[in-house]
């Protein structure tokens, strides 16, 4: 149970005594499935996060006092990031918790906390899974809270299938869900594997309102697969993109090529929007990984 305040000479009930004893051995658990902001009643409890997508737990000031603590554990597939709101949060370990990672949040004052992870090896590997989003028959999908200060650079893998031919797949960066619609210098170059040796460059696209990732396929059995690295979306610098695309063009011809470009703005972004040029429904998956900092 959460910490309670008792008065002098107060008589405790059997239920209160049993609850206090139980909390000595098993902390009160507050189960969360969406991004959450801590409240004063969370003191002394254990918070679990369970979500397939990325989430955050935000820490604000004037809710806790020096010496207060609570535990946080991520049991979901999506990364859960301990985020400083109006308070400061410092740590020697990662603030982005992969599945099964956790630790103790200890307050040194009403406005400052220290995060003590149970282990600091969660981001020891070069590539760390952040989230997987399933796109189900929708013209546009916005994925927020995937870019944080924990990583500088990211790998994103997109698989799209089952939509009408001759639709370009597009991507825009977002800040708090709002897409950036200008300032891009982006291109996509697609070569035909079947009509030339070496492959012929049949299509080249230049975009200023978005990154263009290639053509989407004309049947559910022909997926468009795009894998690219994104550099510095969270940092206040120009965000660059570089990768490969395999898709189809002009019906059923096999094709693939390169996607590249940058957004000419020194703004911090936290998400992406994916959509087709004809606003037709898309289906597929978007998987995001973070590159560990050196």
Question: By the 8 A CB rule, do 274 and 144 touch?
Answer: no
Q: What is the DSSP string of 199-216?
A: PEEEEEEEESSSEEEEEP
Question: By the 8 A CB rule, do 248 and 255 touch?
Answer: yes
Question: By the 8 A CB rule, do 270 and 246 touch?
Answer: no
Question: By the 8 A CB rule, do 257 and 190 touch?
Answer: yes
10-residue averages of pLDDT along the chain (294 residues) = 70 78 71 96 94 93 95 93 93 87 95 87 68 87 90 92 67 94 87 59 74 69 82 91 75 69 91 85 90 79
Over the range 242-255, which residues count as b (16 or more CB within 10 Å of their CB) and which as e? ebebbbbbeeeeeb
Pairing of strands 282-291, 153-161: antiparallel
pLDDT of residue 67: 94
- Residue-wise pLDDT for 21-31, tens only, equals 655 556 789 99
Name residue 126's beta-bridge partners.
none
Using CA atoms, how far residue 149 sits from 82, 84, 207, 239, in Å, is: 11, 11, 28, 14
Sorted by where each starts, the structural domains of the chain and their CATH numbers stand as 14-117 (2.60.120), 127-291 (2.60.120)
Question: By the 8 A CB rule, do 158 and 213 touch?
Answer: yes
pLDDT of residue 279: 76
- Residue-wise pLDDT for 214-232, tens only, equals 766 555 456 778 999 999 9
pLDDT of residue 187: 83
pLDDT of residue 123: 45
pLDDT of residue 43: 92
84 Cβ partners below 8 Å, 6+ apart?
58, 59
């Amino acid at each position: 149970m959460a910490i309670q305040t008792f008065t002098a000479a107060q008589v405790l009930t059997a239920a209160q005594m049993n609850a206090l004893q139980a909390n000595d051995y098993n902390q009160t658990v507050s189960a969360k499935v969406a991004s959450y902001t801590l409240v004063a009643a969370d003191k002394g409890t254990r918070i679990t996060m369970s979500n397939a997508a990325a989430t955050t737990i935000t820490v604000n000031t004037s809710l806790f006092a020096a010496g207060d603590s609570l535990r946080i554990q991520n049991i979901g597939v999506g990364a859960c990031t301990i985020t400083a709101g109006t308070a400061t949060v410092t740590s020697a370990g990662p603030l982005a918790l992969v599945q099964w990672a956790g630790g103790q949040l200890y307050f040194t004052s009403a406005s400052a906390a220290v995060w003590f992870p149970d282990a600091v090896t969660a981001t020891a590997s070069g590539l760390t899974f952040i989230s997987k989003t399933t796109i189900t028959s929708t013209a546009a999908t916005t994925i927020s809270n995937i870019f944080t200060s924990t990583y500088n650079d990211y790998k994103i893998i997109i698989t799209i299938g089952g939509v009408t031919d001759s639709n370009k797949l597009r991507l825009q960066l977002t800040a708090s869900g709002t897409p950036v619609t200008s300032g891009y210098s982006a291109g996509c170059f697609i070569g035909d594997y079947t009509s030339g040796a070496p492959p012929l460059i049949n299509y080249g696209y230049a975009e200023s309102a978005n990154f263009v990732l290639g053509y989407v396929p004309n049947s559910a059995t022909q997926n468009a697969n795009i894998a690219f690295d994104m550099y510095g979306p969270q940092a206040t610098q120009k965000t660059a993109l570089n990768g490969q695309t395999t898709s189809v063009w002009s019906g059923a011809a096999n094709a693939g090529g390169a996607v590249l470009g940058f957004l000419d703005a020194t703004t911090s972004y936290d998400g992406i929007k994916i959509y087709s040029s004809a606003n037709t429904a898309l289906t597929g998956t978007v998987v995001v990984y973070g590159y560990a900092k050196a």
